[in-house]
Structure 1
């Protein structure tokens, strides 16, 4: 695990396979990201990782959304169309939130 998490391995992975680095400070690793891949030449690959992330907004309905997304993922992996499972999950979330708000 130490090797997989090392900066050297993460840099090689980013250069050769375009897998985003997993590091506390990915800035150094992003300097060589995709360097060995023709489609990444002269591209602003640093823009793939935001400088700051939006703060996590926790609402009373977060667990409802999370559980429905898990169900949607399972349905998609079982063979259903991704657009259908996302639409159905959204409808279930809306219905469950409306029920919660009506209490």
Structure 2
């Protein structure tokens, strides 16, 4: 029973619920596409053109948010890996000669 609850959506053999940024990208894309399509329809009353605007805006918003979100995700992940490495080195060198704080140079007023 617990396996059925945790089972996500499988597309091309991959669970998309575990892909970072996937859900938000599509939610913002769908919302933006519907909003822009309806707005275009209200002003022009052209159904086919409004559907085209809706699909185009969905595609652009989804792709744009996906790229931005994945960039931020990757940058954060890289910083976290660097921090983990620094903490591991700190624990490794604690109490040794390399652990001593560096002397700060004195500032001279000119």
**TM-score for both structures, normalised by structure 2:** 0.25
Q: Which has the higher helix share?
A: 2
Higher CA-based Rg: 2
Q: Which has the higher contact order (CA 8 A, sep 6+)?
A: 2
**TM-score for both structures, normalised by structure 1:** 0.27
